[in-house]
Amino acid sequence: MKIAIIGFGNMGKTIRKIAEERNHTIVAIIDPIDKEATSLNLTPESLQGVEVAIDFSSPSTVLKNIEVALEAKVNLVVGTTGWYDQVEEVSKKVAEAGTGFLWSANFSIGVNLYLKMIERAAELINDYEEYDIWGHEIHHHHKVDSPSGTAKTIEKILLNKISRKTAVVEEKLDRQIKSNEIHFSSTRGGPVNFSHVIAFDSAADTITLNHTARDRSGYALGAVKAAEWLYLKKGFFGMDDFIG
């Protein structure tokens, strides 16, 4: 495939490495500051010849990037977070444009399998009120949002599957937590940290589900494989469509 990378930070560079190892061609790199960029700004012209674009830019630019990709009729994989309140509107625009679009808060195959494990565990725990639930995540010091999109996805799963929990608290607690609340905390630090843990905690024991990434390669590989899957497809897709 002929691929464009939108946002050429650490993730973008890892995506290029893996895409080239899988015999794809990077025909465009769009980034406002990187010296290797073929274009500082995303325009329909900068996407000429591109078959699939992969966006790992920033929450402040992602919606504009989506608009440009739709205008250029280029299929788009989006790993950037911070726009999920616009999902329904973007879905309509993708249908109008007749292009292919795949988004996820996290493209790691391992993380997406982890999410399915959490979903099943939450369904089981729902029947056992003696278990409380809490979560924690750790990300590197370059991470620009807190909690992460993955944490938000986990929170949604827990609230959907555990009827006694109806709210998530993400900030510091200076009070006793309420019985209907889940405390989901975040830590930011270090150059390469990616970890999530969910605990089902009773007086008798604790069950934990933990995912820890060793580096960015799993996320980048998932994004490239998602681009391969999206190639020539039309429609609005999520990670469940890709993972199956």
Which residues make Cβ contacts (< 8 Å) with residue 33, sequence separation at least 6? 40
CB 140 within 8 Å of CB 214: no
Query: Which are the catalytic amino acids?
Result: 139, 143
Cα-based torsion angle of the residue sequence 35, 40, 45, 46 in order, rounded to the nearest 10 degrees: 40
Apex CA 92: angle with CA 88 and CA 97, to 5°? 145
- Between the alpha carbon of residue 73 and those of residues 61, 68, 144, 240, the distances in Å are 18, 9, 29, 24
- Between the alpha carbon of residue 143 and those of residues 11, 154, 190, the distances in Å are 11, 18, 10
* Nearest in space to 191 (alpha carbons), one of 18, 10, 69, 29: 10
Apex CA 33: angle with CA 14 and CA 144, to 5°? 65
Apex CA 107: angle with CA 219 and CA 8, to 5°? 55
Element containing residue 138 per DSSP (H, E): strand 132-139
